[in-house]
Amino acid sequence: MRQIPWRVAGQEVVVNVAEGEEDILAFREFVTTAGPLAFDTETTGLDIYASDCRVRLAQFGTGRTAWVLPVESGPQWADLAAWALRTAERLYCHNATFDLLVADAHLRVPLEVTYLKTVDVRIMAHLTDPRSAHEGGTGHSLEALTRAHLDAEVADQVKGAMRELARELKTTKGEIFRIVPLDHPRYLLYAGMDVLLTSRLFEHMLYSVPHASRRLVVFEHQVAYVCAIMERKGFLVDIPYTLQLADRLERQAKQHADTAAALGVDNVNSTDQVAQALTRRGAALTETTATGKPKVDKAILDRLVADGDELAIAVQRAKRASKWKTTYADTFLELADPGHRIHCGINSLAARTARMSITRPALQTLPSGEHMIRSCYLAEEGEVIISVDYQAIELRVLAALAGERKMIEAIRAGKDLHGLTASLVFGPDYSDTQRKAAKILGFGKVYGGGPATLARQTGLSVADARRVVAAYDEGYPAIARYTKQLQADLPRQGFAVVTGNGRRLPVDRAKPYAALNFMIQSTARDMLAAGLLEIHKQGLLDYLRLPVHDEVIASAPAEDAKEVAHALADAMAGQINGVPLATEAEIGGRSWGSLYT
DNA sequence: CAGGTTAGCACC
DNA sequence: AAACGGTGCTAACCTG
């Protein structure tokens, strides 16, 4: 056994590195006597389901002692790690989903065994302060939490460790975890430190979660578990279709790029080049970016396209085709596992409002205007895609939180909410254009926008927009009162809002108007999360593929689709303050895209 | 030249 | 009086 002594927060700690058979007994003794154990793994990469992914190290530890098992050097170590995972009564992880999926896929210890006895310090950290470092919080990485709560010097060591190793071994940060020698002392120290710090952070975070948020600890672990099951299942990809799509998009991109080149733009992705060429053609680019350069975004190109500018048309088409190829088609092909499944990363507790995020690939942001990209995803063989979403959830949550009588009555009566707004603002004989403006106004209110934003989005004059907003506040007095009250109460909460579910959300001092949106967005997110738990409780989890903010995507046998869709919709439906949050199910064909034709 | 930043664009 | 919220990913560009 190799021992690496270190210091954390003024205390001596030790990293034990198992090397030979003679260490097995000592490790077993440690696991059976140490109590709750922090757990972490080091792998060759982040893509757990890639055919070349291997576990290199498995670490277990307390706040004083870490054990590092060299899993890559022989199957006995994987078996020993698996034994420890099954034996430990309680586990602590930082970002449990990753390591527990690693154990599930590579150590033969299923999520069902590990997840429900695990505490994730990242979840505790998010409940303590949901903000990223960029937003004025501590952030939730192990390094950031160590810096904030344990030992800044150790945080620096952890942060710099793998980067230095990469430099030393003349490789990149992305490659270092794959190629660093298994016995490199600083790799082993880094690996051992992870569990020492995780264990210590647990002790700290136990007391840092706000009182009002305590009940969310169990809730969020259950939600994370359900999302981890979805990650493990994966979403089937239509490989032949996606290959063909990538090919088609490439040809389109090339064709339009050639047209742009003939008109003087070598690289359509260079905003600078496009701006210069458009200016030469006589376009007036008046708007600028944050750094003062001429702005050429979609809205600006759209206007030039409407005027029939050939360059603008070519640039826009080329950019779209190339972005769609690389961001979607190519990525799907690269991420699909040998069984043609994509296991995206679902961060069940991501945004500062607790909204979920989905990465590798970002399946929440696939184009919804048409079916082309979503058609890459398939229900299982013999099954069809089901989508269940909440109807106008943000407006309903707003009505419920504010207690806005007129809106609540309209919801109960199943009336058109944007029509109601239009009649309040423009009068009973509102036009179609006015209904559209009312819809934009409704969303603007949810986001905390004002007259200037409304004017920009509708084409109304600022003066008219101001009148419209005033009419909204008059027509929905409870919403106006609620918005005002939320902002007035901010100082009492330490400049934060606390949702009905007990989630404390700090608000930026420069943006008090965001308080309303945080309440709405976070409350709506918790409805979806509660819906996922109810779906699990009803035994329907196996059907689920994805959560998408106010919607779930599922796959079910064609002959059962109606029944499953209704069961999912029923499980998700709920209420807030007596206001019903209704759901609506849609049944498609084999591909996700079939819902978008 | 690796890695961070900016601009743009996809979604709810 | 007014204030649009939350994400992830890519290519180009900048920097140490």
DSSP A446-508: HHT--HHHHHHHH---HHHHHHHHHHHHHHSHHHHHHHHHHHHHGGGGTSEEE-TT--EEE--
Q: How confident is the model at residue A44 (pLDDT cuts 50, 70, 90)?
A: very high
Per the CB < 8 A criterion, the answer to whether A70 and A42 are in contact is no
Per the CB < 8 A criterion, the answer to whether A200 and A9 are in contact is yes
Average pLDDT, chain A: 95
Which pLDDT score is estimated for A424?
96
Q: What is the pTM of this model?
A: 0.97
Residues 397-426 of chain A in contact with strand B via CB under 7 angstroms: none
Tell me the two tokens of residue A560. 């059962």
Which pLDDT score is estimated for A173?
86
Which pLDDT score is estimated for A159?
84
Q: How far is the CA of A289 from the C1' of B7 (A)?
A: 8
Buried b (16+ CB within 10 A) or exposed e, A11-34: eebebbbbeeeebbeebeebbeeb
pLDDT over threshold 90, residue A160? no
pLDDT digits (tens, 9 = 90+) for A496-514: 999 999 999 999 999 999 9
Which pLDDT score is estimated for A22?
92
Which pLDDT score is estimated for A163?
87
Which pLDDT score is estimated for A561?
98
DSSP label at residue A225: H
Q: How far is the CA of A405 from the C1' of C3 (A)?
A: 26
Which pLDDT score is estimated for A513?
95
Q: How far is the CA of A260 from the C1' of B1 (A)?
A: 30
Q: Which residue approaches B1 most closely, CA to C1'?
A: A172
Which pLDDT score is estimated for A67?
98
Q: How far is the CA of A198 from the C1' of C13 (A)?
A: 38
Q: How confident is the model at residue A69 (pLDDT cuts 50, 70, 90)?
A: very high
Positions of strand B less than 7 angstroms from a protein CB: 2-3, 6-12
Residue type, position A175, single letter? E
Q: Which helix (H) or strand (E) holds A417?
A: helix A417-426
Q: Which CATH class is domain A394-521?
A: mainly alpha
Lowest mean pLDDT among A295-299, A423-427, A554-558: A295-299
Domain A239-339, CATH number (from 3.40.50.300, 1.20.1060.10, 1.10.10.60, 1.50.10.10):
1.20.1060.10
pLDDT digits (tens, 9 = 90+) for A397-409: 999 999 999 999 9
Share of chain A above pLDDT 90, in %: 94
Q: In CATH, what number does A2-209 get? A: 3.30.420.10
pLDDT over threshold 90, residue A24? yes
Q: Which residue approaches B8 most closely, CA to C1'?
A: A297
pLDDT digits (tens, 9 = 90+) for A328-375: 999 999 999 999 999 999 999 999 999 999 999 999 999 999 899 999
Residue A361, preceding peptide bond in cis (omega within 30° of 0) = yes
Q: How confident is the model at residue A174 (pLDDT cuts 50, 70, 90)?
A: confident
Q: Which residue approaches C6 most closely, CA to C1'?
A: A351
- What are A42's strand-pairing partners? A57
Q: How confident is the model at residue A40 (pLDDT cuts 50, 70, 90)?
A: very high
Residue type, position A260, single letter? A
pLDDT digits (tens, 9 = 90+) for A257-277: 999 999 999 999 999 999 999
Which pLDDT score is estimated for A30?
98
Can you give the residue ranges of every domain in chain A? 2-209, 239-339, 358-393+523-596, 394-521
Per the CB < 8 A criterion, the answer to whether A519 and A499 are in contact is yes
A289 CB contact with strand B at below 7 Å: yes
Helices (H) and strands (E) in chain A, counts: 24, 20
Q: In CATH, what number does A358-393+523-596 get? A: 3.30.70.370
Measured CA to CA, the distance from residue A491 to residue A507 in angstroms comes to 10
For residues A568-589, average pLDDT: 97
Tell me the two tokens of residue A20. 């030979």
pLDDT over threshold 90, residue A112? yes
pLDDT digits (tens, 9 = 90+) for A454-492: 999 999 999 999 999 999 999 999 999 999 999 999 999
For residues A155-165, average pLDDT: 88
pLDDT over threshold 90, residue A120? yes
Positions of strand C less than 7 angstroms from a protein CB: 2-13
CA–C1' nearest nucleotide, residue A362: C8
A295 CB contact with strand B at below 7 Å: yes
